[in-house]
Each structure stands twice: as C-alpha cells, then as structure tokens.
Structure 1
Amino acid sequence: MIDTADIPGGGQLQLKQRGDDFAIEYGETQLMVSWASRSEEALATLACQRMGMEHGRMLIGGLGMGFTLSAALAALPGSASVVVAELVPKVVEWARGPLAHLFGGTLDDPRVAIEICDVHDIISGPPEQFDAILLDVDNGPDGLISAANDRLYCDWGLRAAHTALRPGGVLAIWSSYPEHGFADRLEDAGFMVEEVSLRTGERGRGARHVIWLAIRES
C-alpha cells in the first residue's frame, strides 16, 4: 500500500504497488492497473476517429493512470483542448508523484486543463460546449465509486451529455463488463450508437471490456 484517498461523499481509493506494477483499488475491486491499458487507450483513439478531422474540445471524466489522456493527446492536433474532470484531488497528486512515470508529462501539455470537480457539473453547463465527452469514472455505466454517478448514465443524464455535445460530437463510455440495454438507453437519448468489445491484452488475451460510442447527429 502506497497511499489512500478519500472519495467525496464516502468511500476510499487505495494506491498499491507490487514490484514495478501499480493498481488503484476500491474495496476489493481493481479500478485500474498499470499493466493493462489497451481498452483505456482505445476509449480515446476510437472517439477521436469518430470526431473526424475537426478535433476541437474534449472532456475526459476521470484521470485514472493517464492512459486515456495520453492516447487523446497523441491523436489530437495542437489546436485542440482537453478538460479532465477528476473528483478525487489525491488522484492528481498521485499523477504528479508515484505515478508520474506513467503520465510522461502529459499534465503539463498546454492543451490540458485539470478540474477538481464532478464531471456531471461540467456536463450540465452551457450547451454544445464539447466535441467529445469520454467517461471512465466507474467500472461501467453505474455509480460504483460514487452513487451520484448514477445520474451520468440515467435517461436524463445521457440527454444532458447529448445537449453538452456539438452536432457530430461523440460520447464515449468505458466499461469493464457488458450492460444489456445500455445501447438502447443511449439511442433513446438521441444518439447513434456503436458498441465495441475488446480484450485488454494483445493477441486476444485478457479480460473483455466494452466501449460505447454514441454520436450526436444533430
């Protein structure tokens, strides 16, 4: 155990290390690990591909170990901007401390702004402010880490994300498991939906994760 971090509203995250490997855990659940990042990276690369050539402003919910942020910055042009909303302040401290080698200086990229806040509060702001919203704040489309996160995935929460996106914008949601009916919920909120399933490891190995890519058509 390296450190712990209290979650606003209750609960605690744990940062653990074994050899060269790191893990952030919530109770008995591993939220993210340093040795498997393929699906977190895909969350960003797939979203950027569907944004088309006009890359503009992106919101990432959840800093984690920085894999999604790093992949987004690699895919986005210099004119883009990325807002990262992180609920737990100490996660940002870890990113600049024991996990700094994983971030590789991405937090100092001039395109990046870190906001210590609930990503829902940003989504509920002015309409049509983002070209992409990437959510990796739970292990799937439910409020595991914070019960308040349920509002991100409920009908009115998804409609709020639809409103926060510009036409053609993409809402991308990461999950460690499939969720029957969630694609239908996204469609009911006005999105055109694609569901991508992929292994966390190379050559078809590792756990199977799911990414929903929801496009606002108008």
Structure 2
Amino acid sequence: MAKFAEIGRAAIPGQGTELRLLQRNDEFSIRIVGQPGDLMNSRLHGSEDALAELACADVAARPGARVLVGGLGMGFTLAAALAALGSDAEVVVAELVPEVVDWNRGPLGQAAGRPLDDPRTRVHVGDVAALMRDSPGDFDAIMLDIDNGPEGMTRKDNDLVYSPRGLESAQRALRQDGVLAVWSAGRDAGFSERLKRVGFSVSEHQVRAHRPGKGARHVIWLGS
C-alpha cells in the first residue's frame, strides 16, 4: 500500500503547533504535528455531511437563505450545504487558517468536489466567533465544526466559541427561526444544558463518521 506523503503545513494561530496535509493516491489526511491519528480524513465525512443536512433542512426553502459554516476543513460540510440549498442561497465559510483555504483551492479541493468554486460561496478568513459577533441577524443557519467540538483540542480559544458568551453571539447572529448546528467527536451532556441556558431549544443527533452506518459515532446538536 502506498504511504502518505506530506504536501502542506500550516501554523495554528496562537498555539505554536502546525497542521499537516498528507495525500495517498486520492485520499487526504489532515493531522496535528505531534499528535497521533487523523484530525480529518477524506474517506470519513458522513458526520460532516449530516451537519449541513440537519442544519439546512428547515431553512433550505427560504428565499435567499444565508448560512454560515464555521470551519472549512476538507470542504465536506460546505459542499453538503450547497447541495441542500437553492440557487439563490449564499454560504459564508469562515476559516481561521489561510493555508487551509489554499489547500481547498488546490489539490485537496477535489475530495469534496471543489465547493469553493461554487458562485454561492463566500470565504471569510478569520475567527468565526468575531464574525458571528459582528453579524447580528444575518444568518438563517449556523454550522460550527470547530476543533473536536465543545472540548477544544487544537486551539484553546475555540472554547470561547462554545462558551455561554459565544453561544449568545451565535444566537444574535441568527434570523428569526434560525438554526444553530454544532458538530462534536463525542457526547457532552453539559453542552446541551449550556445551549438551553442561553435560550435554545435543543435536540441531539448521533451520526456516523462513515456512511452507511459505519465508523465512529459523532454528535450533532441542533439549537433553534
């Protein structure tokens, strides 16, 4: 079997560590330097697809729907959101690491079907928490796939996104009857309560990393 080859590196802002982009034939992996295993793998994106499908289900029919994807990653959530929404929609994707955007415009883009090339896509390079704070009433749905979920692994500042203050910013950034969807690698009972305390009605969905019905169990919270 062919071995992975490193084709890119990127510093994680404020953390003193790096992301590595690796390729083996048509398979891609993003890893954190010094940590074992994949942070993301292009063959395991069922739960990233589900994040967008669940978030967009109730807003796709709205004229001119505008949604936010927090975390570009390998582009699968962005691609699934575009597939779920109409031709007049706009999908803003916020990515903190500029090189991740470059990777998706380069060799990595083929994995998700090059969703950055879709004319409905808008890219924001920067902190999604700041974007939400500065965008009151702008979005019908917000999808957050930052780090490993509410328990940050790559960047402690990500904890702020999932704090009561960060969740209140997300709530203010939503339009009437908007939807917040949050991806996590695992369950966190305290996070459901945190969502409820800031005023969301919450449902929790268990999804698989790989479809159909295979791979690790991940969690998606929907707040409305």
TM-score > 0.5 by shorter chain: yes
Cα distance in 2 for residues equivalent to 1:144 and 1:24: 14
* TM-aligned CA distance change 1:201 to 1:105, over 3 Å: closer
Partner of 1:134: 143
Aligned residue-pair number: 215
Cα distance in 2 for residues equivalent to 1:125 and 1:166: 14
**Corresponding residue to 2:22 among 11, 16, 22:** 16
Aligned-pair identity (%): 51
Instruction: Report how far residue 22 of structure 1 moved.
Output: 1.0
Cα distance in 2 for residues equivalent to 1:61 and 1:187: 21
Deviates more, 1:99-108 or 1:150-159: 99-108
Cα distance in 2 for residues equivalent to 1:142 and 1:91: 21
**What amino acid does structure 2 have at the position aligned with 1:53?**
A
Matched, 1:185 2:191: no
* TM-aligned CA distance change 1:52 to 1:73, over 3 Å: closer
Cα distance in 2 for residues equivalent to 1:158 and 1:21: 34
Query: Cα deviations across residues 157-206 of structure 1 (Å, max 9, x unaligned)?
Result: 11111111112101101111111221111011110111000122234321
Partner of 1:114: 123
- Give runs of ≥4 in structure 1 deviating > 3 Å: none
Q: Secondary structure at the match of 1:171?
A: strand
Question: Is residue 60–residue 86 contact of structure 2 (8 Å, CA) maintained in 1?
Answer: no
Instruction: Report how far residue 20 of structure 1 moved.
Output: 2.7
Instruction: Report how far residue 2 of structure 1 moved.
Output: 1.8
Instruction: Report how far residue 29 of structure 1 moved.
Output: 4.7
* TM-aligned CA distance change 1:126 to 1:66, over 3 Å: closer
**Corresponding residue to 1:57 among 66, 72, 93:** 66
Q: Secondary structure at the match of 1:71?
A: helix
**Corresponding residue to 2:53 among 45, 60, 75:** 45
Instruction: Report how far residue 102 of structure 1 moved.
Output: 1.6
**What amino acid does structure 2 have at the position aligned with 1:125?**
D
Cα distance in 1 for residues equivalent to 2:67 and 2:105: 22
Question: Is residue 47–residue 218 contact of structure 2 (8 Å, CA) maintained in 1?
Answer: yes
Cα distance in 1 for residues equivalent to 2:135 and 2:146: 21
Q: Secondary structure at the match of 1:122?
A: helix
Question: Is residue 61–residue 85 contact of structure 2 (8 Å, CA) maintained in 1?
Answer: no
Cα distance in 2 for residues equivalent to 1:64 and 1:57: 20
Instruction: Report how far residue 51 of structure 1 moved.
Output: 2.4
The RMSD of aligned alpha carbons is 1.4
Q: Secondary structure at the match of 1:64?
A: coil
Cα distance in 1 for residues equivalent to 2:72 and 2:168: 23
Structure 1 unaligned regions, length at least 5: none
Question: Is residue 137–residue 145 contact of structure 1 (8 Å, CA) maintained in 2?
Answer: no
State the TM-score, normalizing by the size of structure 2. Answer: 0.91
Structure 2 unaligned regions, length at least 5: 1-5
**What amino acid does structure 2 have at the position aligned with 1:12?**
E
Matched, 1:97 2:103: no
State the TM-score, normalizing by the size of structure 1. Answer: 0.94
Cα distance in 2 for residues equivalent to 1:126 and 1:202: 34
Question: Is residue 45–residue 72 contact of structure 1 (8 Å, CA) maintained in 2?
Answer: yes
Query: Cα deviations across residues 87-145 of structure 1 (Å, max 9, x unaligned)?
Result: 00000111111212123232121111111101011010132111111111111113322
Cα distance in 1 for residues equivalent to 2:54 and 2:100: 25
Partner of 1:7: 12
